[in-house]
Amino acid sequence: MGIVFSKYFQGFRTFRQGVGIRVRVPVRSHCLRSIPVCHVCENSFRGGSGVFTLHLHASADMTIFEGTSGRKPSSSSRLGTHVSIRGGLVLALERGEALGCGSVQIFSHSSRTWASPAVSEGDVRDFVSRHRQSSVGPVLVHASYLVNTATSDPDKREKSADALRQDWMLANRLGVYGLVLHPGSAAGQTDADALGLSAEMIAEVVGMDCAGETRLLLENTAGGGRTLGRDPETMKRLIDLVNRPDKVAICLDSCHLLASGAEIRTPEAYESVVSDWSAAAGSGGIRAWHLNDALFDLGSGRDRHAHIGKGTIGLWFFWKLLGDPRFDGIPMVLETPKTDDVREDRLNLDILDRLSRQATFTPDDPGIGVCLEELETVS
């Protein structure tokens, strides 16, 4: 299959033909490059520990190497990805563990349907119990894409409010960190009217009498279709109208920032954007990030995600963000394209982990290069 490139190798190691090698690394941290100098004799995987063990046999002279030196401690304890709940909520945690995630995001049900299947108290207890034992930390639930808190259409408004209530109650029952919500669209209305309607629904939902410490995380949008939350000024107005800093905060999406016209790829621009959105969040704060590169360029208004380092944002922004002490400890999850074997998640997480360890931005880190090459083969 290939040589293993991992942060667990220190410097260069050369192995002669016929020499056996045993490598044990977290799944999140490995990249495999398919070149015919190494034969995988055996492999094993334990989902509970997130450990991948390879027993390798050199079929020719080969070199295994570590990318760069002088790394900082990893940010992996907060890095994660969106995982499926197929088969049950508990399996979402196990999928996160298998990827070495410190956080995960899930949908409570299909994001494209109104129907929300009932979750039994037994399922809730199983999830809460499993989560206490899990290496996965903060869990985000993403609300249905159909919810539009700003709509003035009576039927759509009733459906949106009911769907949001159901997700909010479930998120609190599960004890998760946050419920991520796209505020909706002002289509057919003035921004002022739309913001009023949106704030009314959000305030009603977060004001419900339900035990739990979940926060509603309003996500910035890519800017198309008169969506609310496309800029910090509009988001601030919405948050001020809701006036629940104890319950409402912000989740920022990197792709959406660039798509909505926010330049984030230089030091000065990065600081300006982060400062503006921090001010918009108020005391509720920026409590989560979606880490996505962008398929289209600045101001496109298009919500199309790309793999880390393969889009128009590039690696520097993610290195800067991962080293920003203002966001220490908060969940940062991928929403990048993936296939069923989630190899893309492993590669994207490895890139982010390597960036988080760099004291100085080093885009030519060989380990990152290997992952970017591998992403070319799965894109």
Instruction: Give per-residue pLDDT as tens, 259-276.
Output: 999 999 999 999 999 999
* pLDDT given at position 15: 37
Residue recorded with tokens 């192995």 = 15
Q: Over 90: is that where the pLDDT of 253 sits?
A: yes
Q: What percent of the chain has pLDDT over 70?
A: 80
pLDDT of residue 217: 98
Note the pLDDT of residue 81. 98
The pLDDT score that the predictor gives to residue 37 is 33
Mean pLDDT throughout 216-224? 95
Token pair, residue 375, equals 């992403």
User: Which of 361, 309, 343 has the alpha carbon at shortest distance from 81?
Assistant: 343
Please give the structure tokens belonging to residue 19.
């020499």
User: Averaged over 134-149, what is the pLDDT?
Assistant: 96
Residue 341: its pLDDT value, please? 86
> What is the rounded CA–CA span in Å between residue 222 and residue 124?
34
Extents of the domains making up the chain: 3-65, 79-378
The predicted model gives 160-177 an average pLDDT of: 97
Residue 296 DSSP label: S
User: 368: closest CA among 322, 333, 328, 326?
Assistant: 322
Query: What is the mean pLDDT of the segment spanning 373-377?
Result: 94
Residue with the bigger pLDDT between 305 and 57: it is 305
Q: Which two tokens stand for residue 56?
A: 């390798």
The mean of the pLDDT values for the chain is 84
Alpha-carbon separation of residue 96 from 1, 173, 352 (angstroms) = 25, 20, 16
| Of 358 and 72, more confident | 358
How high is the pLDDT of residue 76? 62
Here the tokens at position 158 are 């009733």
End-to-end CA distance of the chain: 19
Contacts of 108 (CB under 8 A, 6+ apart): 85, 116, 119, 141, 166, 167, 170, 171
Residue 87 buriedness (CB in 10 A; 0-12 / 13-18 / 19+) = exposed
Token code pair at residue 362: 């080093």
Q: Return the residue matching tokens 């074997």.
A: 341
Specify the pLDDT at position 72. Answer: 56
The residue-averaged pLDDT of 120-140 equals 97
pLDDT for res 114: 86
Q: Is 349 left (phi over 0), alpha (psi -120 to 50) or beta?
A: alpha
Instruction: Give the dihedral sign, CA 52/53/59/60.
Output: positive
Predicted local confidence at residue 28, as pLDDT? 41
Q: Token digits for 68?
A: 């760069």
SS3 state at 216 = strand
- 273 φ/ψ angles, rounded to the nearest 5 degrees: -65, -45
Looking at residue 262, its pLDDT comes to 98
What does pTM read for this prediction?
Answer: 0.82
Mean pLDDT confidence for 84-94? 96
Residue 105 confidence (pLDDT)? 98
> Which of 3.20.20.150, 3.40.50.720, 1.10.520.10, 3.30.1330.30 would CATH assign to domain 79-378?
3.20.20.150
| Mean pLDDT value of segment 27-43 | 36
User: Where do we find the tokens 């199983």?
Assistant: 126
Length of the chain in residues, anyone?
379
Q: What is the mean pLDDT of residues 9-31?
A: 38
Residue-level pLDDT at 73: 54
% of residues, the chain, pLDDT over 90 = 73
Report how far residue 55's alpha carbon sits from residue 357's, in angstroms, rounded to the nearest whole number: 27
Task: Give the Cβ contact number of residue 12 at 10 Å.
Answer: 9
* pLDDT beyond 50 at 222: yes
Maximum separation of any 2 CA atoms in the chain, in Å:
73
